[in-house]
Amino acid sequence: MFSIMMNAQTSTPMESTIYQFKVEDIEGSEFDLASLKGKKVMLVNTASKCGLTPQYEQLEVLYKAHQEDDFVIVGFPANNFGDQEPGSDEEIAQFCEKNYGVTFPMMSKISVKGKDMHPLYEFLTKKSKNGLEDSEVEWNFQKYLIDEDGKLVKVISPKTLPTDESIVRWIEE
């Protein structure tokens, strides 16, 4: 009986990774997170009208500095905090490009908490799904670090800048 359970666990390795998810990008196309296999990934919920919105600039700097190192940032606009992301996907895309020159992948607006929380964020915030820890999305610009195997390895506070030494060190390891 024990060996059967072991085999069942090892035969479905994607269950505890981000690779099981497909999301919609900001242009309306499907984005399969399995396409990120082998890369270190930062997932971040974003907002255009937040005191932390200038972090877009540091996110872009980090992305440009390390995209050749198999590192990618994926932005998820969300309107869960103080109605700070009220725009449409098109408005968000224009804002990000015009104000911050964002070139990293941006997804369609989702919910990162509450009853309508996107399944990806359920995975990121529930230890029973991610295998690391329970967490709550505190505010806009919370960061989730994902290793090359698609596993959650660290949750970073919204107030920690994307270019923080601890994040850069993790990317360069």
| Active-site position among 18, 47, 50, 120 | 50
Residue found under tokens 């607006």: 109
50 carries an active-site annotation = yes
* Beta strand 30-32 pairing with 40-46: unpaired
Nearest-CA neighbor of 23 among 119, 98, 103?
119
- Note the helical H segments in the chain: 2-10, 55-66, 89-100, 119-125, 127-130, 165-172
- Residues 18, 50: Cα–Cα separation, whole Å: 27
Convert 114-142 to b/e letters by CB count within 10 Å (16 or more is b). eeebbebbebbbeeebbebeeeebebbbb
Residues 144, 155 contacting (CB under 8 angstroms): yes
Q: Which residues are catalytic?
A: 50
